[in-house]
């Protein structure tokens, strides 16, 4: 699967702390190889919009859509607890 980041995703990536960026880089490799990779904990976030959520670390998530054979990363966001 191909992975593309929207401008908003790139902006949120560069605004995130370096440790989050590093963890995202690792998790995105897992996403590219297997959507159900255990540490991603990927799940549907908004079914009507086709948006998924996956884990970066305990405190951060990323949101994406699946279109054909492309994962489109929408944004990275600190997870509210």
Domain limits of the chain? 2-78
Residue pLDDT, tens place only, 48-59? 999 999 999 999
The beta strands (E) that lie in the chain are given as: 2-5, 43-46, 51-55, 60-67, 70-78
The stretch 33-37 carries a mean pLDDT of: 93
Give the per-residue pLDDT at 61: 97
Phi and psi at residue 37, in whole multiples of 5°?
A: -55, 130
pTM of the model: 0.93
Instruction: Name the percent of the chain lying above pLDDT 90.
Output: 94
If you count them, how many residues does the chain have? 81
CATH of domain 2-78: 3.30.2310.20
Residue range 60-78, pLDDT digits in tens: 999 999 999 999 999 999 9
Instruction: Please report the pLDDT score of residue 79 as a whole number.
Output: 86
Distance, in Å, from the CA atom of 45 to the CA atom of 67, rounded to the nearest integer, reads 15
């Amino acid at each position: 699967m191909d992975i593309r980041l929207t401008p908003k995703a790139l902006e949120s990536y560069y605004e995130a702390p370096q440790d989050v960026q590093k963890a995202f880089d690792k998790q995105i490799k897992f996403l590219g190889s297997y959507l159900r990779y255990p540490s991603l904990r990927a799940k549907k976030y908004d079914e009507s919009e086709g948006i998924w959520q996956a884990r970066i670390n305990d405190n951060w998530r990323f949101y994406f859509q699946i279109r054909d054979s492309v994962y489109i990363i929408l944004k990275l966001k600190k997870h509210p607890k």
